[in-house]
């Protein structure tokens, strides 16, 4: 695990870029929008909740978006395209924490007849899959339209940031569905990071924040403080987002904790042989090579 030195001066390259982001009315997303707007980027952000005040910058546009609805995610990108005629970067930030108690059915069989709330599954995981599918389409389209342009209008880069959590890495009883979704994000990240870079020229990175001082964790952040554990401010995670966009990194997972950022995916790859045992690791690699890029079931660009 290596500390990432974030060069905030490199963020200036985001000027005039068009960024689509979800979950950006409050918290980490809102901090990201503010930073991007300050750099001169054009931001189209979606959220289920409208901002209390209209965006302060003419370069920022809010589009009501429910990421659990494919049509709503598609509309977000359509609006961005209609406004700007290009999309450079996309950040899938929308998420909710656990709702309900998954196993609290008691002794009465009547309770088990009702399905558990599934909002976390719908927003965090299904929403991220919807977002990534639509983002790839519009990033591909944008690269095709602007790759041969001149000067500042040329587009040579496109990138997606997927947002996991500390729950992508560890065990958190009580956050059963939330943990499943955030570990699912890592499955989406790992299955797309090389594939999309090689087939579409689209970089994919993941950002995994530890507990961050937002409304989502208002009820538990005191536990972190009482135990002397590190946490983040929203701006710390926003900087990791901007680093992933501006630095041209690809296939990296950035864990943000205590205002520091660490790359954790490459170190995990290095120890997989020790983790699985070399024989099983060689078998895993053999399976990956045999299946290649999945062309047997994803015919053509983006699959069928």
Tell me the pLDDT tens digit for each residue of 48-87: 999 988 787 889 999 999 999 999 999 999 999 999 999 9
pLDDT above 60 (res 258): yes
242 within a domain of the structure (yes/no): yes
283 within a domain of the structure (yes/no): no
When pLDDT is averaged across residues 221-230 and rounded to a whole number, the result is 82
Q: In whole angstroms, what separates CA 255 from the centre of its chain?
A: 12
The rounded distance, in Å, linking the Cα atoms of 124 and 139 is 21
Q: Model's pTM, two decimal places?
A: 0.93
Q: Are strands 159-163 and 203-209 parallel, antiparallel or unpaired?
A: parallel
What pLDDT, on the 0 to 100 scale, is given for residue 216?
73
266 within a domain of the structure (yes/no): yes
What's the structural domain count of the chain? Answer: 1
57 within a domain of the structure (yes/no): yes
Q: Are strands 253-257 and 260-263 parallel, antiparallel or unpaired?
A: antiparallel
* Averaged pLDDT of the chain: 91
What pLDDT, on the 0 to 100 scale, is given for residue 36?
97
CB burial of residue 274 (10 Å; 0-12, 13-18, 19+): exposed
pLDDT above 80 (res 297): no
239 within a domain of the structure (yes/no): yes
pLDDT above 80 (res 304): no
251 within a domain of the structure (yes/no): yes
pLDDT above 70 (res 91): yes
Closest CA to 44 of 93, 81, 96, 95: 81
Give residue-wise pLDDT tens across range 99-125: 778 998 888 898 899 999 999 999 999
The CATH number given to whatever domain includes residue 245 is 3.40.50.720
Give residue-wise pLDDT tens across range 159-210: 999 999 999 999 988 899 999 999 999 999 999 999 999 999 999 999 999 9
Angle at 263 between CA 216 and CA 290, to 5 degrees: 105
What pLDDT, on the 0 to 100 scale, is given for residue 209?
94
Q: In whole angstroms, what separates CA 261 from the centre of its chain?
A: 16
296 within a domain of the structure (yes/no): no
Q: Which residue has the higher pLDDT, 214 or 234?
A: 234
Question: Could you tell me the pLDDT band of residue 299, with boundaries at 50, 70 and 90?
Answer: low
Give the gyration radius of the chain's Cα atoms. Answer: 20
Q: Identify the bridge partners of residue 91 per DSSP, sorted by sequence position.
A: 21, 161
Domain that holds residue 179: 2-270
256 within a domain of the structure (yes/no): yes
pLDDT above 80 (res 219): no
For 228, residues 6+ apart whose C-beta sits below 8 A from its C-beta are none
Q: Are strands 42-47 and 60-64 parallel, antiparallel or unpaired?
A: parallel
């Amino acid at each position: 695990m290596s500390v990432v030195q974030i060069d905030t001066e490199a963020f200036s390259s985001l000027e005039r870029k068009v960024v689509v982001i979800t979950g950006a009315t409050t918290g980490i997303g809102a901090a990201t929008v503010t930073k991007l707007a300050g750099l001169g980027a054009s931001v189209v952000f979606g959220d289920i909740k409208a901002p209390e005040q209209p965006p302060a910058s003419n370069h920022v546009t809010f589009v009501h978006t429910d990421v659990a609805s494919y049509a709503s995610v598609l509309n977000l990108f359509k609006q961005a395209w209609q406004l700007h005629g290009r999309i450079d970067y996309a950040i899938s930030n929308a998420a909710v924490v656990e709702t309900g108690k998954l196993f609290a059915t008691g002794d009465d069989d009547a309770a088990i007849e009702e399905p558990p709330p599934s909002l976390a599954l719908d927003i965090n995981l299904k929403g991220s899959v919807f977002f990534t599918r639509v983002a790839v389409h519009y990033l591909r389209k944008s690269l095709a339209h602007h790759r041969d342009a001149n000067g500042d209008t040329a587009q040579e880069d496109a990138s997606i940031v997927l947002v996991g959590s500390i729950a992508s890495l560890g065990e958190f009883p009580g956050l059963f569905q939330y943990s499943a979704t955030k570990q699912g994000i890592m499955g989406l990240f790992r299955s797309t990071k090389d594939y999309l870079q090689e087939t579409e020229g689209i970089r994919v990175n993941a950002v995994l924040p530890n507990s961050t001082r937002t409304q989502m964790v208002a009820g538990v952040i005191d536990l972190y403080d009482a135990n002397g554990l590190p946490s983040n401010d929203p701006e710390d995670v926003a900087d990791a987002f901007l680093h992933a966009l501006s630095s041209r990194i690809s296939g990296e997972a950035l864990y943000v904790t205590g205002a520091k950022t660490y790359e954790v995916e490459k170190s995990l790859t290095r120890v997989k042989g020790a983790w699985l045992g070399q024989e099983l690791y060689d078998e895993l690699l053999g399976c990956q090579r045999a299946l290649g890029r999945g062309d047997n079931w994803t015919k053509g660009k983006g699959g069928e």
